[in-house]
């Protein structure tokens, strides 16, 4: 299967409605044809604006998280279109890695929805 690996970056405290953005995004992606998804937490990181985020000893709200979703080309288009139409989202930052048969030719680009 040729397809994409989408990685969405967020923080622990982000919500969509009353639900964690991570839980919501994993379910949303599955409903729109994703073949798999994983939530990973990070100890530290910085965002697109250079702001530093970390999981503090007493406070985990700012902990950086990455949601990685695997999709084929059709599911990728469906998912990205559905995210663009979804209300209540401001910006979702994502890196999209195209995984052709040869990893030597993998391409990377960013998407803002």
Q: Are 8 and 34 in contact (CB under 8 A)?
A: no
Long-range contacts of 52-61 (CB under 8 A, 24+ apart): 53/11, 55/12, 60/12, 61/11, 61/12, 61/13
Q: From the CB of residue 70, how many other CB atoms can be counted at a distance below 10 Å?
A: 18
The runs of H, that is alpha helices, within the chain are 21-31, 73-85
More confident residue, 80 or 92: 80
Instruction: Give pTM, 2 decimals.
Output: 0.74
Q: From the CB of residue 79, how many other CB atoms can be counted at a distance below 10 Å?
A: 23
Question: How much is the average pLDDT of 44-63?
Answer: 76
């Amino acid at each position: 299967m040729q397809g994409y690996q989408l990685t969405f970056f967020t923080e622990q405290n982000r919500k969509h409605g009353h639900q964690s953005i991570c839980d919501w995004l994993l379910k949303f992606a599955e409903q729109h044809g994703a073949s798999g998804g994983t939530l990973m937490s990070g100890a530290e990181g910085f965002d697109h604006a250079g702001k530093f985020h970390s999981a503090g000893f007493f406070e985990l709200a700012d902990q950086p998280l990455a949601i990685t979703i695997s999709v084929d080309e059709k599911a990728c288009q469906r998912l990205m279109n559905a995210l663009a139409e979804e209300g209540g989202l401001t910006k979702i930052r994502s890196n999209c890695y195209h995984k052709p048969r040869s990893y030597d030719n993998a391409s990377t680009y960013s998407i803002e929805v």
